[in-house]
Structure 1
Amino acid sequence: MWLQKLSVINFKNYSEAELIFSDTVNAFTGNNGAGKTNLLDAIHYLSLCKSYFNPIDSQQIRQGEDLFMIQGTFRKDDADEVIYCGLKRSQKKKFKRNKKEYQRLADHIGLFPLVMISPNDISLIIEGSEERRKFIDNVISQTDSLYLDELIHYNRSLMNRNALLRQIAVSGNYDASLMEIYDDQLVISGNKIFEKRKAFMEVFTDIFNKHYQYLSEDAEQVELLYDSPLLQEDFSTILNRNLERDRILERTSSGIHKDELSFSIHGMTLKKFGSQGQQKSFLIALKLAQYTFLQQQKGFEPLLLLDDIFDKLDDARTTKLMKMVSDKDFGQIFITDTSRDRIENIFLKLDVPVTIFDIEKGNIAE
């Protein structure tokens, strides 16, 4: 699978642009703020129906305009697939595959898998556990459409149970039968999500370790650990034991919505004790493991998007990374960088063809 063509209208800082890509390496070069990353984000929209950086769709519309449009032509299974995304202000986002509109965006997730590596990924380390759960959910959702449905069911049941807890606190009336219904709904979806997360991590952790050891040349010992309250006891027991506490807090205090993914280096917390280079290597290994997992599950190469990848990586790790992603195990790649010369020199040494687009204030020259 690869992206042949990308067209955008009124998307972020682009009034209109059309690009034809190679099936190997494509690079966007130019100064900071020129719009390089915006092109990666447009590709991310086509694959995952949303921006990588901003969850508010209307804020992607170019200033002063009323709509944006993104369209891409993918080559997959020896056939062309045209994906369209459009949004008008104050209207619902439209997503089409070969001119047929989706009724549910969830049905598109996973058809054109993609992995993005960006400086924004640092939030996986420095922010709360929700960011790390989202990472797990994003990877599994691209390989298992039923998983996304279970997440939707679980979050709806969680919202209903929390609303009931708040209602009980206000009225003082405890509705045991309704609480039991919401508990049962949470347990059914929660157990399915937990089993899939646990099975995923058993495979994913080994892949991650191999990628990190390659990047660091076995110089550092890191650990990726999945933790869930359901590893200790069954979900029904947890909900029953915490009921009084939940009534006081007016929210569900334990469940798979509290799962955690912890990162450590040499037995210490990566957030506190890892250098910037070590943290970036950890994140890159995490994303490369995501790529390998998706490739194994899908049977073909996802797209790989590398945004400002050379910052805070030493030359040795940069060279190893570029050598790795230029290998036959990787498919089409998109890279942004401020230096055209650096891109040319790296891929010249690797003897890998690269198509370079010079970006300047939303204008593109190949």
Structure 2
Amino acid sequence: MKDRIFVGGGGEGYAVPQELLLKYANRHGLIAGATGTGKTVTLQILAEELSAAGVPVFMSDVKGDLSGLAVAGSEGFKLHDAFMERAAKIGFDDYTYDSFPVTFWDLFGKSGHPIRTTVAEMGPLLISRLLELSEAQEGVLNIAFRVADEQGLPLLDLKDLQSLLVWVGQNGKDLSLRYGNVSPSSIGTIQRRLLVLENQGGVNLFGEPALELADMMMVDADGRGRINILASDALMAAPKLYATFLIWLLSELFEELPEVGDPDKPKLVLFFDEAHLLFDGAPKPMIDKIEQVARLIRSKGVGVFFVTQNPGDIPEDILGQLGNRVQHALRAFTARDRKQLLHAAETYRDNPRFDTAQAIREVGVG
């Protein structure tokens, strides 16, 4: 079994193969670059290489162009010669057409297997983020969850939560004496937000049977890791739902997986596309939680790669946890673009052989 995977070509003429040791793949990573510079190709190459090495992969398919991993290409394809020429140029000597074991998932249950979790497993912090609640409204939601926990009430789907909130509202005076103010207006706001979530299709996420994480960490009979693809094109219409699900998945992996120390290869690698959505408008406790999980989940054998246009989209504390970087080209058409490019260059160590900012402008596509 090989101990490294191919990432791309570097050096003079991009002719020197660049590889990642599998034992470092759980050091987390960042794939950054402007639109059209080749991030999707990098995703595909990394997913294929990890799968071939026996590492399961989870990735979100925002644009609907990752499903081809399930079907092998052919020499009759019109770009076959260009592919072979490019592979030879970057030192990808063993490039061949192949299909990979793929499972498609979809929160809406239309383009893949449905993914479900329970309201109780999601928890009040993530649901508050999903519903964009204020601090006072989040407090009321926490009270509702506490009541359910103390009374042994199951919170499986949105109807359970809505019914619980009705009961909390009806008994608000008594609950206020014990837990603090339970405002009817806060209850009403939460119920309205739940209605909006239902209309966006969020009702499909909650219920049973809940997702078994082991289903995403399978290896086929040939020893290849399963590639799990989340259909995310429709999810982009509900970015908070998309971001909240990814954060929940990361948290569940952290809570359920056993410690494995420093394995020879990861147990699972996740690629979160449009990663800025995880952090846009997120309260500090949420960002702190993501940073904590990212820092500690390495010991569970899980690697996380954030995919975004600019490294500045990732909070500094989390960016500091990302030991692997694949930097595609950034463009600098405006003053803001130039500032972001310089900021991206500053996140790399100084290299006397070249100007990092200039190199990021000129790096090749793909």
Q: TM-score, normalised by structure 2?
A: 0.41
Q: Name whichever structure is richer in strand by fraction.
A: 1
Q: TM-score, normalised by structure 1?
A: 0.41
Higher RCO by CA contacts (8 Å cutoff, separation 6 or greater): 2
